[in-house]
Chain A
Amino acid sequence: MIRLEFDCSLRYASGFTLDAAFSTRTSVTVLSGPSGSGKTTILSILAGLLRPDRGRIRLDATVLFDSERRIHLPPEARRIGYVFQDYLLFPHMNVRRNLLYGWHRRPADAQPPAFERVVEILELSDLLHRFPATLSGGQRQRVALGRALLCGPRLLLLDEPLASVDETLRERVLGYIEQAQREWDIPTLYVTHNTGEAERLARQTIVLQSGRVVGVEPANDRGDPAP
């Protein structure tokens, strides 16, 4: 189990302000809220791709960001696996090279899942030599998930994994995510604008609106013993 503490604010030039604080220590946390409520902004900040104006982020004992102490770990030092909403598979590499990109760059102390096991669970063995442009949406999704898992992440970020998947495939994609969860138990932050979608995965749901946390269900984990 891992503990994530997030308390950051960021003001965009457009006027949108994110000012959100939450902490979680469950295996799957769902971030939900209408589009434009700041969900993807939070993921970008967690991954280190966006720098907040002020605040603090801690993942267990590691401080990822602290504006007062001037700490801002670069993305490559955070070990956070990010599955982007549009996947961002590298178009010039085949599936195998996409999957192994992060694996080759894993830090010495990381213990990523075995390549063969990821290929097996996500049913990728027939796709390894194909290029992303020739894959269907559901296939790209699985490759993106596998690529993120193979970098040996301490935290997994899933941005609207069902948004661009065909209605009929949603159940299957959720099944893959569930199975990966059971197999490797990597703490996951799951972003969706549809609260019902991830109910069966969620241990905790954080509801966002206009850049603020407006609800936590079930109530915060304050009762748990401190680590």
Chain B
Amino acid sequence: MDARFLGLAGEDWRAIAFSAGVSAAAVLASLPFGVACGWLLARRSFAGKALVETLLNLPLVLPPVVTGYGLLLLLGRRGWLGGYLFDYFGIEIAFTWTAAALAGAVMGFPLLVRAVRIAFAGVDPRFAQAARSLGARPLDAFWTVSLPLARPGVLAGVVLAFARSLGEFGATLLFAGSQPGRRTLAVQLYLLYEQPGEEAERRLWRLAAGAIVLSCAALAASEYLERRGARRDSS
């Protein structure tokens, strides 16, 4: 029998910790790309913009299992890119910690980009122009003026993407598998559901409650950050 805390088995805690770690890594790694994409979509018009938007939003509407299968085709050991990585560099991605993070990142990315884009759209581009006229180079103006002004929205997007990644099931299961120690929260929940017996059912309930608490906390954080941004603009 595992040691218990709050009625959850060690294995369940590991799933929560694994999910939280994987999701945090996923969001942190995708943040620079998300900010770049969101800024481009908010500020620039270019050929093929509609196509880029559609592709970015695809993980939102596709069944996650399809996304996971796509990742497997692309990055699996015999995948188009994964085969190359394995043959030449000995790098394996599928069914690793990285795979779980990548699946979470891909699923959370559309939400991140959407939030970032709305955040930049709400910042008057003339603030950056004022910064330029005061001697700031474009990147300087971005770091010191545009990004800080968009920060509440960007942070809200980070929290949303984190929550989305935390709950990811289909894509993670296909691309990262379900080996013990590499199980995400959602996968662990499913495996408990499949186990017969009252003990498994009790753990399932408690783990589900834990998932609800985590998700509510993430949503509340996102809401708080958005409100804080709104308050500063109007005060």
Could you list which residues of chain A lie within 8 angstroms of chain B, going by C-beta atoms? 47-49, 74-76, 78-82, 84, 88, 90-92, 101-102, 105-107, 133-134, 147-148, 151
**Are A91 and B140 in contact (CB-based, < 8 A)?**
no
Of the A-B pairs whose beta carbons lie under 8 Å apart in the complex, a sample of 23, sorted by A's number, is A47-B133, A48-B132, A74-B137, A75-B129, A76-B133, A76-B135, A76-B136, A80-B133, A81-B134, A82-B133, A84-B130, A88-B126, A88-B127, A88-B130, A90-B127, A91-B232, A92-B232, A101-B136, A102-B135, A133-B233, A134-B235, A151-B134, A151-B135
Whether B63 sits at the interface, judged by CB under 8 Å, is no
Q: Are B235 and A105 in contact (CB under 8 A)?
A: no
Tell me whether B145 is interfacial, beta carbon within 8 Å.
yes
Residues of B within 8 A of A82 (CB): 130, 133
Q: Mark B130-149, 1 if CB is under 8 A from A, else 0.
A: 11111111101000110011
CA of A68 to CA of B133, assembled, Å: 24
Chain B 51-97 interface residues, beta-carbon cutoff 8 Å to A: none
* Contact residues in A for B130 (Cβ distance below 8 Å): 82, 84, 88, 90
| Chain B contacts with A in 104-157, Cβ cutoff 8 A | 124, 126-127, 129-138, 140, 144-145, 148-149
For residue A157, which residue of chain B has the nearest CB? Answer: B133
Is A75's CB under 8 angstroms from B148's CB?
no
Q: Are A49 and B133 neighbours in the complex by a CB distance under 8 Å?
A: yes
Task: Report the separation of the CA atoms of residues A81 and B235 in the bound assembly, to the nearest whole angstrom.
Answer: 28
Q: Select one of A48, A74, A102, A133 contacting B134, CB under 8 A.
A: A102
In the complex, the answer to whether A101 meets B134 with C-beta atoms within 8 Å is yes
A92 to B123, CA, bound (A): 12
Partner of A49, one of B124, B129, B135, B140: B129
Bound: A48/B131 CA distance, A: 12
Among B135, B232, B235, max chain A CB count under 10 A is at: B135
Residues of A within 8 A of B234 (CB): 133
Q: Does A90 contact B129, Cβ atoms closer than 8 Å?
A: no
How far does the alpha carbon of A92 sit from the alpha carbon of B232 in the complex, in Å?
8
Which of B131, B134, B137 has the most CB atoms of chain A within a 10 A radius of its CB?
Answer: B134
Q: What would 19 more interface pairs be, CB under 8 Å, given A76-B132, A82-B133, A133-B233?
A: A48-B132, A49-B132, A74-B138, A75-B132, A76-B135, A82-B130, A90-B127, A90-B130, A90-B145, A90-B149, A91-B149, A91-B232, A92-B149, A92-B232, A101-B134, A102-B135, A106-B135, A134-B235, A151-B135
Nearest-CB residue, chain A, relative to B144: A101
| Top-6 shortest CB links A-B | A102-B134, A105-B135, A75-B132, A88-B130, A82-B133, A75-B133
- With CB as the reference atom, state the residue of chain A lying closest to B148: A92
Q: How many whole Å from A65's CB to the nearest CB in chain B? A: 15
In the docked arrangement, what's the CA distance between A48 and B137, Å? Answer: 13
Q: How far is the CA of A156 from the CA of B130 in the complex (A)?
A: 13
* B119 shortest CB reach to chain A, Å: 13
Instruction: Give chain B residues whose Cβ lies under 8 Å from the Cβ of A49.
Output: 129, 132-133
Smallest Cβ distance from B182 to chain A, in angstroms? 42
B235 touches A133 (CB 8 A): yes
Q: CB distance B136 to A105 under 8 Å?
A: yes
Docked Cα-Cα span, A100 to B16, in Å, equals 47
Say whether A105 contacts B140, CB under 8 Å. Answer: yes
Find chain A residues with CB under 8 A from B136 CB. 76, 101, 105
For the complex, give the distance between the alpha carbons of A102 and B144 in Å: 12
Nearest B residue (CB) for A87: B130
The answer on a CB contact under 8 Å between A81 and B145 is no
User: Is A91 touching B233 in the complex (CB atoms < 8 A)?
Assistant: yes
What's the least CB distance linking A206 to chain B, in Å?
21
Q: Which residues of A contact B137 (CB under 8 A)?
A: 74, 76
Quote the shortest CB–CB distance from B88 to chain A (angstroms): 43
Bound Cα distance A75, B233 (Å): 27
Complex CA distance for A151 and B135, rounded to whole angstroms: 7
Nearest neighbor of A133 in chain B, beta-carbon distance: B235
Q: B133 touching A81 by the CB < 8 A rule?
A: yes
User: With the chains together, A171 CA to B137 CA distance in Å?
Assistant: 36
Q: How many angstroms between the C-alpha atoms of A170 and B124 in the bound complex?
A: 27
Contact partner of A101 (CB less than 8 A), chosen from B124, B131, B148, B232, is B131
A107 near B149: Cβ-Cβ < 8 Å: no
Chain B residues with Cβ below 8 Å from A75 are 129, 132-133
Residue of A nearest to B233 (CB): A91
